[in-house]
Amino acid sequence: MNGFRLDNKVAVVTGGASGIGQAIALCFAEYGAVVRIVDLNGKAAQKTAERISQLGGSSTAHLCDFTDAVQTADVFRKILELSRVDILVNSAGVAHVGKLETTSDEEFERVFRVNVLGTHHAMREMVPPMVAHGGGVILNIASIAASAGLEERYAYSMSKGAVLSMTLSVARDYLGQKIRCNAISPARVHTPFVDGFIKKNYPGKEAEAFAKLSASQPIGRMAQPFEVAMLALYLCSDEASFITGADYPMDGGFFNLRG
């Protein structure tokens, strides 16, 4: 056992400038991978890359709007000029709160373009070079919203359901080319988005709102980004070479232990 090391691996992490993506980028670097951080927030991506360097790891930062197919192709071409890519983690995404009649077409399309089309663009650019190099690993960050009925998460649930379906399709279609494709479906994770959501919607009652949101998981708390990162580390390591076409709910008992 080598502790799920990623030595001599190169990983692209989309949305790696903050939240779950940042935790994955930091974790992968700690366990030996060269990490390419790709994010719409170029400054934050660069700060994360610098943090990795300060900790003794190797990383580069790349600005990209994944909703733009041409820009995505150009950025990934430049990344592949630096080195091959062994691992692609699709963590870039946006959330949305609203049910059917409170979700505008513009909001619906924005969530679709970022979460679905963005993931599609990234995988489309990375699969051919992975095939050419004899295989690779793709990990998509989905959500329990893909398969559970969550209140006021209409557009977000749609997008994560699509991400999960795309994961299964890619796993099936490229099984013979030695590309593994899996998904992690977290429940609520304590990220800057959650803090911003609470601050905006519950001014003066932040602590109460945080406690209520935490209690919605039977385990009694939200997940921490590093916990998602450790599962991602395993799924992208050689020790998980028998796993493909799988979705891993990381839900604190949400599905099976609710009263």
Annotated active-site residue 156? The verdict is: yes
Q: Nearest-CA neighbor of 161 among 112, 106, 234, 217? A: 112
Catalytic residue, from 31, 154, 156, 248: name it.
156
Q: State the SS3 of 177-237.
A: HCEEEEEEEECCECCHHHHHHHHHHCCCCHHHHHHHHHHCCCCCCCECHHHHHHHHHHHHC
The CA distance from 183 to 133, in Å, is: 22
Pairwise CA distance, residues 140 & 225, whole Å: 15
Under a CB-based contact definition with an 8 Å cutoff, are residues 10 and 83 in contact? yes
Question: Cα–Cα distance between 128 and 238 in angstroms, integer?
Answer: 20
Q: Which residues form the catalytic set?
A: 156
